[in-house]
Amino acid sequence: MALEDAKTRVDDAFTRSDLRGLSFENTFGGATSFLRRRYTKDLAGVDIAVTGVPFDQAVTNRPGTRLGPRAIREASALQAVDPPYGWPFNVLEDCAIADYGDLAFDYANVPEFPGRLTDHIRGILQAGAAPLTLGGDHYISFPILRAMAEKHGPLSLIHFDAHSDTWPDDDMARVDHGTMFYKAVKSGLVDPARSVQIGIRTTNADTLGVHIIDAPEVHLIGPEEVVARVHQIVGDHPAYLSFDIDALDPAYAPGTGTPVWGGLTSAQAAAMLRGLAGVNLKGGDVVEVSPPFDTTGATAIAGAHVAVEICCLLGWALRA
């Protein structure tokens, strides 16, 4: 069946009629939607809406993450033919997943951008879908969390990163990918007592009450213990998962703006993400994939795998 489909199917992103099922289109051809899901602006009946935010004007170091959503979509074609590994269900069969396309915005009108993104996510939530966002730089999490908190109240943040992104910044209109979680806590969008940051390996003395499991501790105690702690911290509180690709060591994800050595391995990340099954997850993002700094495509591949795991976590929560 797979071979026959590969002979006859192409551009599933536009030609497939359903929102469920695997895609046996040749991985090297055709339109590259996320996991070959159907591109659509109609979210009726959609469980998970994947959307891209090609924005990188908040970076402090190397730009290029505006190209991340496109690269992640292309890399995801490698996975569309198989059920996601390590899960007792197949999210591609059991959940209606759509590629909602990218956010449209005026790249030269940065002050307008946050509101446009919040409205974009509001629309997804109002349609009854859970948003999975492909970045873009990490600032995008702040406007997303505004919409998420409107619907679900203050959220537990599960944050994988080399940086805490809670450096002080009381100018809520300022656009910076290193201060947005400071703003999210101060704005009441995130409950720090129920939130956790994993993989941190840069100095920031004030954690704002957010639990920290830094990279050296992850290496010491292992993914299983990390997962147990996260479940204890978060409980059944509505949660949002944000994965900065620089949580991974540069050996696994060189294509990012602010790489820091000593990070997580891809195997550790996979084990921890799968171990989060059962968390009351309402949405998530994967950010900071910068293709210009990666000649192999490894970073986009890692980003696509993270996005698929978040899909599975969202699907698992929907099954509860």
Dump pLDDT digits (tens) for 102-143.
999 999 999 999 999 999 999 999 999 999 999 999 999 999
Mean of the pLDDT values across residues 12-38?
93
Compare 4 and 285 and report the one with higher pLDDT: 285
Domain 2-319: CATH superfamily, name plus number: Ureohydrolase domain (3.40.800.10)
Q: Where are the domains of the chain?
A: 2-319
| Claim: this prediction has a pTM higher than 0.75 | yes
Q: For residue 171, say whether it is annotated as part of any ligand binding site.
A: no
Q: For residue 106, say whether it is annotated as part of any ligand binding site.
A: no
pLDDT of 7 reads 79
pLDDT of 4 reads 55
Distances (CA, A) of 184 to 64, 166, 306: 25, 9, 23
Mean of the pLDDT values across residues 167-184?
96
pLDDT of 6 reads 73
Mean pLDDT of the chain: 96
Mean of the pLDDT values across residues 232-251?
98
Residue 230: pLDDT over 60: yes
Residue 12: pLDDT over 70: yes
Distances (CA, A) of 195 to 57, 190, 239, 320: 27, 8, 8, 21
Residue 175: pLDDT over 60: yes
Q: For residue 246, say whether it is annotated as part of any ligand binding site.
A: yes
Tell me if 6 sits within 8 A of 21, measured CB to CB: no
pLDDT of 9 reads 84
For tokens 């720090």, name the residue.
192
Q: For residue 42, say whether it is annotated as part of any ligand binding site.
A: no
Question: What percent of the chain has pLDDT above 70?
Answer: 98
* pLDDT band at residue 2 using 50, 70 and 90 as cut-offs: low
Q: For residue 285, say whether it is annotated as part of any ligand binding site.
A: no
Distances (CA, A) of 270 to 224, 241, 244: 11, 14, 14
Q: For residue 56, say whether it is annotated as part of any ligand binding site.
A: no
